[in-house]
Amino acid sequence: MYNYFGIEPYTVMGFPFRSWKLHYNPIIVLRNPLDRVASAASMTWVKMPLITHTEDAGAVFVRHSLPYMKLIGDRIRIIDFYDLEQYIPRTGFQSWRANSRVDDTAKVEDVYVENDAYTLQDLKQEVSIYNKLMTTQERVSVEEWKELTHAWSKQ
């Protein structure tokens, strides 16, 4: 996304969650929480050891997998994470990505990694909210996204 919006990689945009939630047109990219956990585990315990990193592995895992959907409410429109490249092409500088996906038959208990930040029940709740949002919330079309972001897009 950095390239798409012409932002220096790994910089903070300064758009706090509260401001986003109160925005007149809040749009969020939703990814299956179980895939987020699998990706976080891969990034934390497979990729991180291969690079020099000063941050605690547990903190990295939690930051990438922490349940958040109970905070966003239902006054949102969504982009499905698995369709994201239709909205924002991957060009130029790219962060490493795990492409982690769990099997459709996986249960929350199969994927949950014990940690100090959230419980198995929290992750179950996240999956439930995700499933509800994916079936009830309006999706932003690719065309509308491009119209909305034209002024900021550098592509």
- The one-letter amino acid at 82: Y
| Contacts with 119 (C-beta within 8 Å, 6 or more apart), sequence order | none
- The one-letter amino acid at 8: E
CB 67 within 8 A of CB 33: yes
Adjacent-strand bridge partners of 29 = 79
The pLDDT of residue 24: 73
Q: Tell me how far apart the alpha carbons of residues 24 and 12 are, in angstroms, rounded to a whole number.
A: 22
CB 137 within 8 A of CB 77: yes
Which region among 9-18, 33-42, 96-105 has the lowest average model confidence (pLDDT)? 9-18
Decide: helix, strand or coil at residue 28: strand
The pLDDT of residue 32: 96
Question: What average pLDDT does range 142-154 have in this prediction?
Answer: 80
Q: Give the tens place of pLDDT for each residue, 27-81.
A: 999 999 999 999 988 888 776 555 555 668 888 889 889 999 998 888 899 999 9
Tokens of 35: 């895939």
The pLDDT of residue 58: 84
Between 56 and 4, name the one with better pLDDT: 56
pTM confidence score:
0.82
The pLDDT of residue 57: 80
Mean pLDDT of the chain: 82
Question: What average pLDDT does range 115-126 have in this prediction?
Answer: 97
Adjacent-strand bridge partners of 78 = 28, 139
Tokens of 23: 């925005």
Q: Is the pLDDT of residue 122 over 80?
A: yes
